[in-house]
Amino acid sequence: MTPAIEPGEHAVEDLLGRPLHDLRISVTDRCNFRCTYCMPKEIFGPDFAFLPKAEVLSFEEIERVARAFVELGVEKLRITGGEPLVRRDLPVLISMLAALRRPDGGELDLTLTTNGSALRKLAPALRDAGLRRVTVSLDSLDDAVFSAMNGVDFPVARVLDGIAAAQEAGLEPVKVNMVVRRGLNESSILPMARWARTSGVTLRFIEYMDVGHTNGWRLDDVVPAAEIVTLLDDAFGVEPVDPSYRGEVAKRWRYRDGSAEVGVIASVTQPFCGDCTRARLSAEGRVFTCLFAVRGTDLRAIVRGGASDDELAAAVTGIWRARGDRYSELRSAQTVDLPKVEMSYIGG
């Protein structure tokens, strides 16, 4: 039997002393975009076999697994996909997760990452259900460049309208993630920064990462974080900001004129494995302890096999305590051919 973490105790830790603090929950492996770095249409075409409905965790199963993680120290839940807003009745799940409480009685940090395509329709219902804030993926303000990145010719204006809808609904602060890939959208770095400085959003640049094997990743395609920061500093003037909590993935910078903050996520050139506190739950109920994981552990079988809550908690505890992942720190020629889970499968 593994008891819940009592108020004031530390969360369960892995082999490197990293606490279990964040759980990313993929609610679907489907998406209406075909972004080149996640679900390239050459692979995820019309004949691609997505998970059958029976293999995807129900809302009740997701809530039960999330509750086990929360009782063991998780304070932040992030809903992901695929594209989470394509999951039918998602506000129902949000309300279930929003009702969970940490052992000390505190509320969870409940957030969601989306491509923004359905936010105009769903933002009010998500906020009413208990969602606190959203992160929106947007890789350029130029329609031609954005289309080259998202693979489906979806207009920028509709994503911007979704961001506005989230702000109107009170899902703030809105964060905007821009994956930067050399040769495709590095020319959009400064235009995106100019827009974000006056739009009330926090922009975060993400180095193009070698997740999975379908996105054609090459190191030559990576625009290093240092290069991005230099561009921002030359154009606007920026200075570093201390992280707000252990395990924060984005290195924070602020404009010297005080107009806004910006973040840079540099998992390729400046690995942050040493402070990684995240676990990931796939849509079919497998737990992955690293974004670059070789394999996950099946919790769906445990849940559907009649396990008690204590047995489920014991399984989660065992998974985390055995964790020694630090792929980004070990990245080398020897890791290139390792099997890795696709980003679309575990939500990035």
pLDDT along the chain (348 residues), means of 10: 45 91 96 84 85 96 98 97 96 98 95 97 98 97 95 95 98 96 94 96 88 55 93 96 76 93 86 80 93 84 97 97 70 48 55
Mean pLDDT over the full length of the chain:
88
Give pLDDT, residue 266.
Answer: 84
Provide the pLDDT for residue 295: 79
Out of 3.20.20.70, 3.40.50.2300, 3.30.230.70, 3.50.50.60, the CATH code matching 22-346 is 3.20.20.70
Q: What is the pLDDT of residue 132?
A: 97
pLDDT score of 210 = 59
pLDDT at 348: 53
Write down the pLDDT at residue 344: 54
Q: Which pLDDT score is estimated for 214?
A: 46
Residues 41-99 have pLDDT tens digits of 878 888 888 999 999 999 999 999 999 999 999 999 999 999 999 999 999 999 999 99
Question: What pLDDT score does 211 carry?
Answer: 52
Hey, which residues does 109 pair with through a beta bridge?
A: 76
Please say whether the beta carbons of 114 and 85 come within 8 A: yes
Residue 94 is predicted with a pLDDT of 98
Apex CA 161: angle with CA 157 and CA 164, to 5°?
140
Cα–Cα distance, 179 to 175 (Å, whole number):
13
Distance of CA 232 to the CA centre of its chain: 24
Residue 345 has a CB neighbour count (10 Å cut-off) of: 23
